[in-house]
Structures are given as structure tokens and as C-alpha cells.
Structure 1
């Protein structure tokens, strides 16, 4: 059959025109669905992120950590909308919050405390979770290891490895303590781990721990009073339930001239005698920096090692020392609360 080249050329040209037109139609549709911008050209700096925040209870240290977290994202120039929920020290509320945040379509969850982190980690393996104010991330089953978290969860812990040993050494060598009272919520894995660490340490120091457990903040004062006559000092760890009612312990300690060592600086500012610790604002800020890397797609939780607090310092409250008749020695090299 003889091929009509002129006719073939016309048909070929027509097909090319149709293909070009279809391509333009697809571009137009793509632009419409991405808010007037081709997704391939999207500038991440202009994206608005939605972050869910879950906090187990209201107290100064956790609030400071949240402020630090927000500041890190602000410093990174990210546009963020926060959905903030507080469980008010209620386990049932805590689980409801976790489920609500997961179903609300957030880009990332900031879990501020061990119970908060455990709740959200139990209901999603997809949404990135950054925690802070957690003492034992491995023991709480949040990560596989500190060095390699291995899942969708990582963050910053509030347990410097030298904090508890330094506190116990101070109580024994400088204050002559032998029996240390500890008020804590045995239902918090975070707290149980710290109490066990203290007990293990004191086996070789000729000192003992006297426990007083609580279930709610309303139990704290009675628990503190139950220690009287049995202890010569009190140590309050980073227990959310007890710290939220710390004024009760401070009152009991000061009235009975008992040195009250605490686990973080905000509790010293509130009236605790002293602490080897760090600022919760700082670990919140460091958690925020980790969140920035994840939101920008620079890293994944599984690849970001859990961070420990930096710059362990010794802080004391002069007014509390005066109230219990304790003279502060220069060789303690203490800093003082404002």
C-alpha cells in the first residue's frame, strides 16, 4: 500500500498538540490541589505544621519544658499550630488525650512526661513522637536503646547519670544523713526507677531509704508526715504527682528542720534546699530542636539518639537553709536561686 506522507504528517502533528494540551491540563489541576503552587516547588519554610502536645500534670518544671520546646521551633522559623491537652494527673484522661491527638491528624506529638509518652506511643507507630521529662526511656518501653531508638519515638530525658549519686554523697558526707525519706507515686514507672536506683546506690553507703508512696497529689502531705521520726532527710525525685504538691513536703520538712533535697531547679526555687540538676527549659528546647529536624525531613526518630541533660549544676535555696538552721559552706560551690 502506498503511504500518504502528507496525510501522516498532519495526523502526527495533531497527536502532539493533544498531548501538550493534556499536560497543561494536568499542571493546572495539580496547582489547584496544592493551593496555587506545584507541590514539587513547595517551600518547606512556608508550611504550617500541626503539633499535638500532651502533658500529664500541671507543674512548673513541665511547663518550663514546654516553653523551651516552643522556643526551639520558633527559633527555627517554623509556622506551628499547637493542640495542647493536659491530663491533670488522671490516667483515664491521659489515654483519651492520646487517642484524640492521633486521630486529629497532627504532624508530630510532643509528649511531656513518662505517662504522656507511654500513652501516645501505645496508640501510634506512625506519627513521630518527641518526649521530654522522661527518666528511663528504655525501661518505659519508649525506645529500644538510648543510642538507637528504633521506632517513631525519641526525645530528651531528665535524668543525668551523676545527679542521684551526687545528691546522696552530699547528704551523707556534708549533712551526715543516714535515713532518707522518699515520697513518690509507685504507679509512675519514672519514679519507681529512680527510687530503685537510690536504694541500690545506698547499699554501699551505709544509708537506707524509707518509702512513702502516694496515688494522688492529695496524699502527699500525709505521706510526708508519715516519715517524721523515721528519717533525718528527705529526697523528692522528679515525680509528677509529688512535685505538683511540693509545698506540702516543704512545709513538713521546714517545720521539722529536715533537709529537703529535690530533683530539679524549679523545686529549689519553690523551697527545696538544693538540687544537682539542670533547667527543664533546656531539655525542652533540645527536644524542640529534634522536632525541627524531623519536621523538615532531615531525620527520623529512629535515627536520633535520646539526649541526656547537659551541664549538671548544684543549686541551693538560701532562705530554706536559714529556715532549717543550716550554714552554707563555701566548699560546696553552690549556685543560689534568685
Structure 2
């Protein structure tokens, strides 16, 4: 009897220990484990991070504004949105180089996850001043000549971005003038020679025109208030007018459009936005798409830890002839079927 009682007590104790072990296991399974608790209290993942970006833009005008809008749209599509998890320090130099330098110095003294320069002058200033943050550039004509980078394939350092000029673009516009405007013997260019991008593009245009025995005439300006007078000075001297991605000139392009329309002078530009505004033609692309491309590069840096120095500088690869039929009428241009046939995307690039 005593032996049976001891056996029962022993069995009961074993059962209690087993049940206690199972209860502890079930309780642990029902609650967060120590590692899970640590994870829940750890810092937020990179997807929950708040980003800070500084933008320096040399002047307000449609192409540059569209570049900035495309850049921010690419970030938004990747989950980085202004007003939610993105702070944007936007600075516009209003076309003043002194303001441009001050902006670059201010940005360099602040702390941002990434910095964007829009145009050659803004990007030059940032590349010179900002050494401890990733720097991207957009709307830059020749990053090598401007000494923003030293290599297009692998820039090195903390700077990369996208050039807005495919060398073929300028040549294509000049070839179009030569082939479809046989009466054009001189092309006038309104230019601010203080802008390196304008000088580079004008030289390229001059070389392309020379191949067709067409002369290029310059009408120089130093600020936007001089643009109309410069355009008027070309009347009687130039058979057509062309402008580059010259920020000073593009900012006052309405004055050139007025002169071209009044005097029935064909007006060609280096960007789509100016054609949409009233120039007749260009070979180009949408600056929104250009900015979007740079925004995608920003996402690679911010989210995937890419090193800017290892990212190839890009150039536009989809050039198409863009025609404005209303501008043609205003400037006394007869748009031929041959001209229209040169447009690949007729639905989007023949502007009614």
C-alpha cells in the first residue's frame, strides 16, 4: 500500500512537471519572443526613414521646372514623397550667379541625404562646395567640359547625374534647317556667353551649319531685359533664329516668339518646352522624363545604397522631331508632308 502510494505520488509529480513544461511552451508561443520584442523596439527600417533633399535651380523656366517635377515624381513612385517622408529644401537663384554661389554654400553647410543641381551653373557650384553628400545633376549640357565630372562612365567621387544633350540633337536640328529650308543662308542665335552650356551648344550648331554653307550670327545678351532687343537686331540679318539651352534667353523666350511671329522668321529651339510655347521645331524629349530618370538614380542611392561615383552619367537616347503647327502658321512656314514624315511619334510630337 505504501509502495503504491509512493508510485502514485511520483507519477503525479512527473505529470505536473510535463504539464508545466507544456504550459510554458504554449505561453512562449502565444507571446512575442525575446528576438521579436527586440525587433519591434529597434529603429524603423529604411522604408520608414524620413529623407532630406536639397535642390538648387539656376532660374525658373518650363524645362527646368519640368525637370524638378519629374525628379520628385520618380521619388514619389518609389515611396519617397514630399509632405510624408521627404523634406525638400528648394532653392532658386533667379538667374543670379551670386545667389547661385550662396545657395551652394548654404546647402554644403546643412545636412541632407542627397543634393540635386539643375543646370550647369548650379551643378558646378554644388560639385565644388558639397563634398560629404551625394550630388546629382540634371539639365547639364557637357558635364566633362564643365568639370562637374571627369569620366562619364564611372565619375568617381560623390557626383553623377544626367546630361540633357545628345550631341546628335543639335546636328539634327541644323540638318533639318538645311534640308527643309533651302532659302535659309544665315541663322541668328541669341546667346548669353556667360553661360558655358550656351557657348558649347552654339559652337556645335555653328559647326553643323558650316557643313551646309550656312552662316551663324550671334546676338549677345547679359541679362533677360536685353533678349528682345537682341532678337530684333537679327531682323534683316538672319533668315532663321535658333536658341540653345541658355537659361537667360529661355527665361525671356516670349520676346523672341513675338519678334519671330511679327517678322515671319522661322524660330527653332533646343528644347521641347520652348516649341510647345511657340518655337516651330526641335529634336528633343520631355524634360519631365529627363528629371524622372535622375529621380530614379536618386532612389538607387537613397534606398539601395548605390555610390554616385559608380553610376554612369546618362544622355537622352530617344530623340524625335517636334513640330508646332500653330507656330508655323504664325511664322509664315509651310509645313510639308516631308517634314511631318520625319516625326516618329506623330500623335505626341506634332503639336496642333
Same fold flag (TM > 0.5): yes
Scaled to the shorter chain, the TM-score interval is 0.7 to 0.9
- Alignment-derived partner of residue 23 in structure 1: none
110, 115, 128: which one pairs with 2:121? 115
Q: Is the CA contact (8 Å cut-off) linking 2:265 and 2:332 kept in structure 1?
A: no
Give the aligned partner of residue 287 of structure 2.
Answer: 280
Aligned to 1:143: 149
Look up the SS of the partner of 1:156 in the other structure.
strand
Select which of 134, 145, 149 maps to 2:140. 134
- Length-normalised TM-score, structure 1: 0.87
- Measured after TM superposition, the shift of residue 201 of structure 1 is 2.2
Find the counterpart in structure 1 of residue 42 from structure 2.
38
Distance in 1 (CA, whole Å) between partners of 2:154 and 2:89 is 29
SS of the residue 1:296 aligns to: helix
Paired residue for 1:271? 278
**1:238-272 CA distances to partner (integer Å, 9 max, x unpaired)?**
11110010001111111111100011111011100
* Deviation of 1:331 (Å): 2.0
Alignment check: 8 A CA contact 2:53 2:113 kept: yes
Give the drift of 1:203.
Answer: 2.7
Equivalent residue number for residue 17 of structure 1: none
Listed one character per residue, the Cα deviations across residues 198-251 of structure 1 (whole Å, up to 9, x for unaligned) are 122223221111011111111101111111111100111111110010001111
Q: Which runs of 4+ in 1 moved over 3 A?
A: 36-39
What SS is found at the alignment partner of 1:276?
strand
Deviations 1:278-317 (A, max 9, x none): 0000110000000111112431111111111131111111
Match of 1:187, SS state, is coil
Name the CA shift for 1:298/1:106 in 2 (closer, same or farther; >3 Å).
closer
Q: Which moved more, 1:313-322 or 1:195-204?
A: 195-204
Distance in structure 2 (CA, Å) of the matches to 1:201 and 1:151: 35
Deviations 1:28-87 (CA, angstroms, capped at 9, x unpaired) = xxx9xxxx9535xx4111111100011000001100000000000011112311010100
Gaps of 5+ in 2: 1-37, 344-348
- Give me the TM-score of the superposition, normalised by structure 2: 0.83
Please state which structure has a larger fraction of its residues in helix.
2
SS at match of 1:235: strand
Larger radius of gyration: 2
* Aligned counterpart in structure 1 of residue 196 of structure 2, from 167, 175, 189: 189
Answer yes or no: is 1:237 the counterpart of 2:244. Answer: yes
Question: Which of 67, 70, 73 does residue 68 from structure 1 map onto?
Answer: 70
Contact 1:160 1:277 in 2 (8 A): no
**Pairing partner for 2:171 from 153, 162, 165:** 165
Q: Name the structure 2 match of 1:327.
A: 334
In the alignment, structure 1 segments of 5+ residues that lack a partner are 1-30
User: Aligned equivalents of 2:41 and 2:291: distance in 1?
Assistant: 35
Q: CA contact under 8 A between 2:107 and 2:130: conserved in structure 1?
A: no
Q: Over the residues paired in the alignment, what is the CA RMSD in angstroms?
A: 1.7
Match of 2:325 among 307, 318, 327: 318
